[in-house]
């Protein structure tokens, strides 16, 4: 007889159904695992054997065959331990044969029979619920699974024995509750920054519309400091965004203790990051920084120091909001709708823009141009706002702390975001929540400037030789400026400001 246990295999954040089939027959004593398992799955045999023995169940002196079906879907990871062990237990009569019906199962076993947390429980639970199944997972992942639905049936035992007792009815497992991660203290506050009023204003605009931002300035001007204050003014994730973000983090194995958080992700990979680390991939086609930053911020400090190839790989996800990773045996799509915030020095020495500074190697302009060529034109074209962050003066540092902190700015950002969400919902585009993500064809409807604005835009587009993308990005920023002003229509003043943030791109691109 064949015992069947339902489990999943991950393709990106999709959990595909996998059937674990266990057959115990007479014949040579052996434990065979087939169905395209990778190394971690193949090792599962040893963990299952040890865990069963530790739980007081010796494997029968028979031939045990385990098949993971469908056989052509690659199986990766350690979460097959538990379905295999339960399949064997059902096959030898250690648990009732129908106990596992209606459950999807995943979990890793320790040698002592306890269960270890695994990645991907949230997407597995959501997929199981959609198929009308419950979920059996390790206790540590229970709170995560409980987010899938209010009425999903979850068994989250600590060990094999605890689960067997539950099925026998001697120890009933309680349903885990969804938990929210405890925040590690308050975020750094915008109020800490002295002076830099225009940079703070731009940070507010970028936050309000989800716009990509590049800050250019000498070392010590406070660029990194400004970027690290962005999370404190961004609105919290909506419930739907929270689930989307958490699915990616779950598959990546980043959800500590199964707790979710409504803080927007802020990812700041070092400039030595490889292409696979940034866009995803590697052996198991894991999500990269662009996907971990989904619905949040990807901060690239010292932008020109990143590998050119890695930076150019960001271009496609910046446009489409997702990333397709293809490997020999794998194909995974991960969401990657992130807001890019980047910082750079004007040149290698960092001081080219300082009055009176002369580069020892070559004229300042050449030094700057050489450094800026490291960022490609197409990359710059995807940035909505470029600003210069000048060095902060001693006079600024001596000023008393600013009256306005992150809370006040966040309130204005939240109002502007609400206006955007409502507008896109009315247009039947529920997936779009920010002006930055607005599809170009819709822009004509929502950001049509008034007469004076149109004239300005026409002249500027010609003078600045805006690309089509550049033109649309100017309109998006202008729309955000109007939203911050609470205006229904985009006016000339909004366009003028939006164009001023774009003009720096031309200068950088020309240098490049
Ligand atoms: N406007 C400012 N107000 C207060 N402190 C500042 C300001 N700008 C810079 N600093 C101080 O200088 C340090 C360096 O700033 P940082 O953001 O790392 O500069 P950058 O990234 O531009 O090189 C900060 O940690 C902070 O202590
Ligand atoms: Mg810095």
**Digitized pLDDT (tens) for each residue of the chain, 512 residues in all:** 899 999 999 988 999 999 999 999 998 888 889 887 788 788 899 999 999 999 999 888 899 999 998 988 888 889 999 999 999 999 999 998 889 999 999 999 999 999 999 999 999 999 999 999 999 999 999 999 999 999 999 999 999 999 999 998 898 899 999 888 777 778 889 988 888 889 999 999 999 999 999 999 999 899 999 999 999 999 999 988 999 999 999 999 888 777 788 889 999 999 999 999 999 887 777 899 999 999 999 999 999 999 999 999 999 999 899 999 887 777 889 999 999 999 999 888 877 777 777 777 777 778 778 888 888 888 988 999 999 998 888 887 887 776 788 999 999 999 999 999 999 999 999 889 999 999 989 998 898 888 888 889 888 888 888 888 888 999 999 999 999 999 989 999 999 999 999 877 666 655 55
30 within domain boundaries: yes
Number of domains comprising the chain: 3
Domain end among 404, 425, 458 = 404
Domain end among 369, 404, 439 = 404
Within 6 A (CB) of ligand 1 lie 193-196, 217, 219-225, 343, 392
Determine the atom of ligand 1 nearest the C-alpha atom of 215. 22
Bond into 70 cis (ω within 30) = yes
For atom 14 of ligand 1, the residue with the nearest CA is 220
Cα–ligand 1 centroid distance for 209 (angstroms): 25
Domain end among 180, 202, 224 = 180
330 within domain boundaries: yes
Q: In what order do the strands lie in the sheet with 385-388?
A: 266-267, 297-300, 339-344, 213-216, 385-388
Determine the atom of ligand 1 nearest the C-alpha atom of 301. 21
The whole-number pLDDT of residue 506 equals 63
- Is 400 found in the same domain as 421? no
DSSP tag of 398:
H
65 within domain boundaries: yes
Query: What residues have a C-beta under 5 A from ligand 2, the ion?
Result: 224
- Is 210 found in the same domain as 170? no
- Is 210 found in the same domain as 315? yes
Inter-axis angle of helices 492-511 and 451-463, nearest 10: 10
CB contact at 8 A, 296 and 338 = yes
Which ligand is in closest contact with the Cα of 303?
2
47 within domain boundaries: yes
Upper half-sphere CA count for residue 184 (Cβ side, 13 Å): 1
- Is 116 found in the same domain as 46? yes
Which ligand is in closest contact with the Cα of 216?
1
Extended beta strands in 12-102, E state = 14-25, 30-34, 63-69
Instruction: Give me the DSSP letters along 128-173.
Output: HHHTT-EEE--GGGHHHHTTS-TT--EE--SBHHHHHHHHHTSSPP
CA distance 83 to 135: 11
Determine the atom of ligand 1 nearest the C-alpha atom of 225. 17
Beta-strand pair 134-136/103-105? parallel
Determine the atom of ligand 1 nearest the C-alpha atom of 222. 17
- Is 424 found in the same domain as 388? no
- Is 451 found in the same domain as 349? no
The whole-number pLDDT of residue 358 equals 72
- Is 145 found in the same domain as 244? no
CB contact at 8 A, 334 and 13 = yes
Maximum distance among all alpha carbons in the chain? 89
The whole-number pLDDT of residue 394 equals 83
Task: For Cα atoms 138, 140, 143, give the angle at the middle one, nearest 5 degrees.
Answer: 100
Cα 224 to chain centroid distance, Å, stands at 21
Which residue, 180, 176, 204, is CA-closest to 262? 180
The whole-number pLDDT of residue 183 equals 73
Task: For Cα atoms 141, 147, 152, give the angle at the middle one, nearest 5 degrees.
Answer: 90
CA distance 487 to 484: 8
CA distance 278 to 288: 5
Query: Residue 334's CB: how many other CB atoms inside 10 A?
Result: 25
| Ligand 1 binding pocket mutation candidate from 222, 223, 392 (most atoms within 8 A of CB) | 222
- Is 368 found in the same domain as 427? no
Cα–ligand 1 centroid distance for 401 (angstroms): 14
Cα–ligand 2 centroid distance for 507 (angstroms): 22
Range of the domain at 115: 2-180
Cα–ligand 2 centroid distance for 356 (angstroms): 23
Instruction: Name residue, tokens 């902060």.
Output: 392
Cα–ligand 2 centroid distance for 188 (angstroms): 15
CB contact at 8 A, 245 and 265 = yes
- Is 459 found in the same domain as 429? yes
- Is 419 found in the same domain as 394? no
Cα–ligand 1 centroid distance for 297 (angstroms): 20
Which residue, 224, 171, 233, is CA-closest to 404? 233
For atom 25 of ligand 1, the residue with the nearest CA is 225
489 within domain boundaries: yes
The whole-number pLDDT of residue 475 equals 94
CA distance 23 to 37: 17
List, in sequence order, every residue forming a beta bridge with 331; answer none if it has no partner: 326
Q: What CATH number has the domain bearing residue 77?
A: 3.30.230.10
The whole-number pLDDT of residue 511 equals 54
The whole-number pLDDT of residue 460 equals 87
Extended beta strands in 363-511, E state = 385-388
Cα–ligand 2 centroid distance for 146 (angstroms): 40
- Is 347 found in the same domain as 477? no
The whole-number pLDDT of residue 331 equals 80
| Ligand 1 binding pocket mutation candidate from 193, 219, 220, 302 (most atoms within 8 A of CB) | 220
417 within domain boundaries: yes
Cα–ligand 1 centroid distance for 86 (angstroms): 56
For residue 18, with 0-12 CB atoms within 10 Å meaning exposed, 13-18 middle and 19 or more buried, which class applies? buried
pTM of the model: 0.90
For residue 427, with 0-12 CB atoms within 10 Å meaning exposed, 13-18 middle and 19 or more buried, which class applies? middle
40 within domain boundaries: yes
185 within domain boundaries: no
Q: What CATH number has the domain bearing residue 378?
A: 3.40.50.300
- Is 334 found in the same domain as 478? no
For atom 7 of ligand 1, the residue with the nearest CA is 222
For atom 11 of ligand 1, the residue with the nearest CA is 222
Q: What are phi and psi of 68, to 5 degrees?
A: -100, 110
């Amino acid at each position: 007889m064949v015992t069947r246990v339902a489990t999943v295999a991950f393709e990106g954040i999709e959990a595909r159904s996998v059937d674990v089939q266990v057959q115990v027959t007479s014949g040579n004593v052996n434990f065979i695992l087939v169905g395209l398992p990778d190394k971690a799955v193949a090792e599962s045999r040893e963990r299952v054997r040890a865990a069963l023995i530790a739980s007081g169940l010796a494997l029968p002196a028979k031939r045990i065959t385990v098949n993971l079906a469908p056989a052509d879907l690659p199986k990766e990871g350690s979460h097959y331990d538990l379905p295999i062990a339960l399949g064997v237990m059902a096959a030898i009569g250690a648990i009732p044969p129908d106990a596992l019906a209606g459950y999807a199962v995943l979990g890793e076993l320790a040698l002592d029979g306890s269960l270890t947390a695994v990645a991907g429980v949230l997407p597995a639970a959501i997929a199981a619920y959609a198929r009308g199944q419950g979920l059996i997972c390790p206790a540590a992942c229970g709170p995560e699974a409980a987010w899938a639905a209010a009425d999903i049936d979850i068994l989250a035992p600590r060990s094999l024995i605890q689960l067997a007792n539950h099925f026998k009815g001697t120890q009933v497992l309680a349903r885990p509750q969804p938990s929210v991660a405890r925040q590690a203290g308050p975020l750094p506050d915008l109020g800490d920054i002295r002076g830099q009023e225009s940079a703070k204003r731009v940070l507010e605009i970028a936050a309000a519309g989800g716009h990509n931002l590049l800050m250019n300035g000498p070392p010590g001007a406070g660029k990194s400091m400004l970027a690290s204050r962005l999370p404190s003014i961004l609105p919290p994730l909506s419930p739907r965004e929270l689930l989307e973000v958490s699915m990616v983090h779950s598959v990546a194995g980043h959800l500590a203790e199964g707790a979710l958080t409504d803080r927007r992700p802020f990812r700041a990979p070092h400039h030595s990051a490889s292409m696979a680390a940034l866009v995803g991939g590697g052996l198991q086609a894991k999500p990269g920084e662009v996907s971990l930053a989904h619905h949040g911020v990807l901060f690239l400090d010292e932008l020109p120091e990143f590998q050119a190839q890695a930076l150019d790989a960001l271009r496609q996800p910046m446009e489409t909001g997702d990333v397709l990773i293809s490997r020999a045996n794998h194909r995974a799509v991960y969401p990657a709708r992130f807001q890019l915030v980047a910082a750079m020095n004007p040149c290698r020495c960092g001081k080219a823009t300082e009055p009176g500074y002369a580069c020892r190697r070559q004229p300042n302009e050449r030094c700057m141009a050489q450094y800026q060529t490291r960022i490609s034109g197409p990359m710059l074209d995807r940035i909505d706002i470029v600003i210069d962050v000048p060095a902060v003066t001693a006079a600024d540092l001596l000023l008393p702390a600013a009256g306005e902190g992150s809370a006040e700015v966040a309130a204005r950002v939240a109002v502007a975001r609400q206006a955007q969400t409502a507008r896109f919902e009315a247009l039947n585009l529920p997936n779009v929540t920010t002006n930055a993500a607005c599809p170009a064809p819709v822009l004509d409807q929502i950001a049509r400037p008034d007469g004076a604005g149109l004239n300005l835009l026409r002249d500027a587009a010609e003078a600045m030789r805006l690309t089509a993308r550049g033109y649309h990005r100017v309109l998006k920023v202008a729309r955000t400026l109007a939203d911050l002003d609470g205006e229904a229509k985009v006016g000339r003043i909004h366009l003028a400001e939006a164009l001023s943030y774009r003009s720096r791109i031309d200068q950088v691109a020309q240098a490049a």
